[in-house]
Structure 1
Amino acid sequence: MAAKKAARKTARGRIQDRAKVAGGQKYEVDYEAKKTGRSAPAVKKAVKKVGNVRGKVEKKLARKK
């Protein structure tokens, strides 16, 4: 049986999911925008179009350069 990767918990006891982009969180949108060299509205549009999976968002943003 495959072992699951241990999820990290925040100080509030919530589980973090670094594999997703929270389109409503300014700091996450800004981070992705800086990382990909795109604007924040472009990141939000990509999240809306392909969902919040980080890999898909980055792939979508890389394609549109």
Structure 2
Amino acid sequence: MADNKSKTGKQDRNKVNGSENYEIQYFKEKMGVSSQAVTGAIRATGSNDRKVLEDYLKKRHSK
């Protein structure tokens, strides 16, 4: 089912939808990484939760 942009709420803000380019674009700019890094983090963690992805990317890109 498509993301209904008229229904926004806490759940939408806590997730990064890997199928929505604008969400990947926002998150990659926020984290200072590439789009591939964001989609790779989603695949590697098996999660689309923003906090999980932020923690993963911080650990991966701080080395």
TM-score range, shorter chain: 0.7 to 0.9
Q: Does 1:63 align with 2:50?
A: no
Q: Once the 2 structures are TM-superposed, how far is the Cα of residue 10 of structure 1 from its aligned partner?
A: 4.6
Give unmatched runs, 5+ long, in structure 1. Answer: 1-8
User: Quick check: which has more Rg, 1 or 2?
Assistant: 1
Closer, same or farther in 2 for the Cα pair 1:10/1:53, shift >3 Å?
same
Q: Secondary structure at the match of 1:22?
A: coil
Q: Secondary structure at the match of 2:16?
A: coil
TM-score by length of 1: 0.73
TM-score by length of 2: 0.76
Give unmatched runs, 5+ long, in structure 2. Answer: none
Q: Once the 2 structures are TM-superposed, how far is the Cα of residue 15 of structure 1 from its aligned partner?
A: 4.9
- The share of aligned pairs that are identical, in percent, is 33
Equivalent residues, number: 55
- Residue 6 of structure 1: aligned partner: none
Q: Does 1:53 align with 2:49?
A: yes
RMSD of aligned alpha carbons: 1.7
